[in-house]
Amino acid sequence: MPAFLDDITPFYGTVEKNKKGETLEEFLHAYDPHHYEQPSVTADILVVKHPDPLNDVEQGLQLLMVKRSNHPSIGKWALPGGFVNIREDVQTAAARELEEETGLSHLPLEQIHTWGDWKRDPRARIITVAHLALIKEDCAVRAGDDAADACFFHLTCHLCNSKHEHGCLTETYAFSLFNEERNVHLSFKLQESSRTDSLLPQYKYHLLENDGVAFDHPIVIGQGVLHIRHLLSTRKSK
């Protein structure tokens, strides 16, 4: 079949043929991209409104959430996000989905993690790339696309307990999300573990409880908030 890209010049390598005697053009013509099952990719966005200065994540944060209007997890609250188009950069998709679902645009977005548990969505094998935006000012949001509602929730994060043994630090956090105007309260409890005897911390997350948040978004939210916490801790130690 035709090559996915119009210009294949950067991919010629040493211009030699492969073991089958194929040139790059011949290889691409015979290549079947559907030979292997292919996962879909989505982009999810954490928009966190914070006080200035931002000193901790215990309180004072607000998180943008959308209410799902379709299956799966219809009626539940989730992070804004959606599918990446076939010829679209992931970060471009994140910005597009954020604007389509909430009306927010031109926010600086940073990729913070990729989530790929194969059981995370009943529709298909879906991998999501989480993005983070930090904002200080108030901004108006409006629900659009497949979001039934969109609003900011006051977010609190509380460290419940901490255990350090055998080179592993395990911390349990309770998260609470509340929107007073809609009288909606969401909560979840998350466990974060990391190696302290290795250059790579190897962070792992385990969801212990969840009340009202769609998909595995409690883990995505928790990791994002704790990512901010780690950044603040690093800044304070300098």
Output the pTM of the full model: 0.93
Q: Report H helices in the chain.
A: 24-30, 90-102, 217-237
Per-residue pLDDT reduced to its tens digit, 208-227 = 999 999 999 999 999 999 99
Residue 130's pLDDT is 98
* Domain range summary for the chain, segments of one domain joined by +: 1-36, 40-237
Residue 175's contacts (CB-CB under 8 Å, 6 or more residues apart) are 155, 156, 157, 158, 187, 188, 189, 190, 218, 221, 222, 225
| pLDDT given for residue 236 in this prediction | 74
Residue ranges of the chain whose pLDDT lies below 50: none
**d(C-alpha 73, C-alpha 121), whole Å:** 10
Of 175, 99, 177, the residue nearest 131 (C-alpha):
99
Residues 39/127, Cβ–Cβ less than 8 Å: yes
Q: Which CATH architecture has domain 40-237?
A: Alpha-Beta Complex (3.90)
